[in-house]
């Protein structure tokens, strides 16, 4: 299983990276799952504050060893999402399985926390190969430009029983989405809960309360069955929403490397 964190607005990227590292080491663990350390690699996607371009970084080493000195920690950005990983299956380790996932034919990046071994059935596959990639294809089929709460929840509730959670972050040049959903019978609901910190000009959502970012009383549980949308302002216009709000604009950005490319 994994841990997720997303920040949108005005913030120091290094502090968000440090928060992800704390979650990866189990420093902030307060939940109902035996897994507290997430050392099977990590990844990040962020939006350049000056150009609006999306950048991704993936590393198969533990976040505590490499994230604080990575490009993500020094990014000038108004949007940053990180994923620290504990692979559910040993065979699904390595760079090609490290989030954010990206397909060669579109501009989406995808991060998943959970295990959905039955979603392949809805894709017409005989067996699951990598559940997170299959979930990516199911939730964001080719041609998808945005997600909306009603269609997402309808799709999630159609997944055959046997999964643990569909918590995810999906990032596109125009916008990012955070999906908070687990089936009602998930065995560890506290582990898959998500927490939200809202400060002036800043919105943070994380898999755990991170006291180094703000005292525990400033955080609030994110309601289940929630889809948050973070529109990115266009770099070509001057009239656009302030970062950290949730509506809809457009922006064009270059692609980042496919996940099988060398670690940056």
| Average pLDDT of span 150-161 | 97
Q: Cα angle vertex 174, ends 173, 176, to 5°?
A: 85
Q: Report residue 1's pLDDT band, with 50, 70 and 90 as the boundaries.
A: low
Residue 93 has a pLDDT of: 86
Which pLDDT value is given to residue 243? 36
Q: What is the pLDDT of residues 177-201, one digit of tens each?
A: 999 999 999 999 999 999 999 999 9
Hey, where are the domains in the chain?
A: 2-231
Name the CATH architecture for the domain at 2-231. Answer: 4-Layer Sandwich (3.60)
Question: Average pLDDT over the chain, rounded to whole?
Answer: 88
Q: How many CB atoms lie within 10 A of CB 240?
A: 16
> Percentage of the chain with pLDDT > 70?
88
The string of pLDDT tens digits covering residues 17-37 is 999 999 999 888 888 877 888
pLDDT at 2 over 90: yes
- pLDDT at residue 36 in the model: 83
Higher pLDDT, 257 or 41: 41
Residues 48-88 have pLDDT tens digits of 999 999 999 999 999 999 999 999 999 999 999 999 997 77
């Amino acid at each position: 299983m994994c841990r997720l964190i997303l920040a949108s607005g005005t913030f120091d990227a290094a502090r968000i990276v440090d928060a992800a590292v704390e979650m990866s080491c189990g420093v902030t663990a307060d939940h109902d799952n035996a897994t507290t350390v997430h050392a099977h690699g990590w990844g990040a996607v962020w939006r350049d504050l000056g150009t609006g371009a999306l950048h991704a970084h993936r590393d198969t080493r533990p976040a505590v060893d490499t994230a604080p000195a990575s490009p993500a920690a020094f990014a000038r950005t108004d949007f940053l999402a990180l994923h620290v990983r504990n692979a559910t299956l040993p065979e699904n380790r390595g760079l090609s399985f490290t989030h954010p996932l990206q397909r060669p034919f579109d501009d989406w990046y995808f991060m998943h926390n959970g295990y959905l071994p039955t979603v392949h059935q809805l894709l017409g596959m005989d067996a699951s190969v990598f559940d997170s990639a299959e979930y990516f294809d199911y939730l964001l089929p080719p041609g998808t430009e945005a997600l909306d709460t009603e269609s997402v929840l309808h799709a999630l509730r159609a997944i055959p029983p046997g999964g643990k959670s569909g918590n995810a972050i999906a990032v596109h040049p125009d916008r990012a989405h955070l999906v908070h959903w687990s089936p009602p019978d998930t065995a560890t609901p506290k582990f898959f809960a998500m927490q939200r910190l809202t400060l002036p000009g800043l919105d943070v959502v994380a898999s755990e309360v991170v006291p180094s970012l703000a005292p525990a009383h400033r955080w609030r549980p994110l309601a289940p069955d929630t889809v948050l949308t973070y529109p990115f302002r266009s770099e070509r216009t001057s009239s656009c929403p302030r970062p950290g709000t949730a509506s809809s604009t457009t922006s064009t950005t270059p692609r980042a490397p496919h996940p099988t490319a060398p670690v940056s």
